[in-house]
Amino acid sequence: MVVENHKLLTVDIADLARKAEKVRERLATVNKPSRALYNRLEKIVGTFCPGLAKQPLHIDRFGGGHYHYGHTTHRGHAH
């Protein structure tokens, strides 16, 4: 990257901006059905997940289901 007098010389910023806008428009069109589904499910998921997280059973969101946080073996290591 070459900069001279605070101007980037090695990248055509205007062309990059045009390409980015075309991609943004394409993605907006492609993702429109998914966005509609997201908008319909947002309230349901938003109320269900926090309520579920308050339940007494631990739910591991990160896939570490083999760990039981807060429970230790006789050696003090978590399972």
Q: Give the mean model confidence (pLDDT) for residues 8-23.
A: 90
Q: Are 33 and 24 in contact (CB under 8 A)?
A: no
Cα distance between residue 3 and residue 38, in whole Å: 43
Whole-number mean pLDDT of the chain?
A: 76
| C-alpha triplet 72, 74, 79: angle, nearest 5° | 35
- Binned at pLDDT 50, 70 and 90, residue 57 comes out as low
Provide, for the chain, the percentages of residues in helix, strand and coil under a 3-state DSSP scheme, each rounded to the nearest 5: 50, 10, 40
Res 45 pLDDT > 90? no
Residues in contact with 40: Cβ distance below 8 Å, sequence separation at least 6, in sequence order: none
Higher pLDDT among residues 14 and 55, named by residue: 14
Per-residue pLDDT tens over the stretch 19-33: 999 999 999 999 999
Q: Read off the tokens for 78.
A: 């978590």
